[in-house]
């Protein structure tokens, strides 16, 4: 395993766990820890952002590239995630099982479309 892969693995694991735990703390009313959950979730997001910056630095690339393609991919990813989340809400909160599954599947397919958008298609 290369050093950059190991560093990415460690930072993404720590950031993902902190973000997930923070979201559970904030969104589960039984835990009575909304404020603490938001703080831990933000710390997790900061660790994940640091991971991206460190990985790009180790790859010898500029930290953040802002161009039309990056903005479009980010916008598409956000919209796809919102569609997926709406499907989950429809299923788990609003008791709309079949329509929620359909909307969630559309969100999943849209998120999978990010792979060729980012990596491109090769022969």
- Residue boundaries of the structural domains of the chain: 1-64, 65-123
* pLDDT value, residue 62: 85
The mean pLDDT of the chain is 93
Banded model confidence at residue 91, pLDDT cuts 50, 70, 90: very high
pTM of the model: 0.67
Contacts of 59-64 with C-beta under 8 Å, sequence gap 24+, read 59/4
Q: What 3-state class would DSSP assign to 38? A: helix
Give CA separation, 40 vs 22, 25, 35, 43, 46, in Å. 5, 9, 9, 5, 10
Average pLDDT estimate for 72-83 = 95
Percent of the chain with pLDDT over 70: 99
Give CA separation, 97 vs 15, 22, 28, 71, in Å. 32, 27, 21, 33
Banded model confidence at residue 1, pLDDT cuts 50, 70, 90: confident
Q: Token match 């991206």: residue?
A: 52
């Amino acid at each position: 395993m290369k050093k950059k892969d190991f560093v990415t693995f460690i930072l993404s694991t720590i950031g993902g766990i902190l973000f997930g735990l923070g979201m559970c703390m904030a969104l589960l009313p039984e835990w009575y820890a909304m404020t603490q959950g938001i703080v831990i979730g933000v710390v997790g997001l900061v660790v994940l952002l640091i991971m991206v910056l460190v990985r790009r630095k180790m790859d010898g690339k500029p930290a953040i590239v802002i161009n039309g393609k990056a903005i479009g991919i980010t916008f598409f990813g956000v919209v796809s995630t919102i569609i997926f989340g709406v499907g989950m809400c429809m299923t788990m909160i609003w008791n709309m099982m079949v329509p929620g599954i359909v909307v969630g599947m559309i969100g999943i397919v849209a998120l999978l479309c990010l792979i060729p958008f980012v990596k491109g298609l090769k022969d």
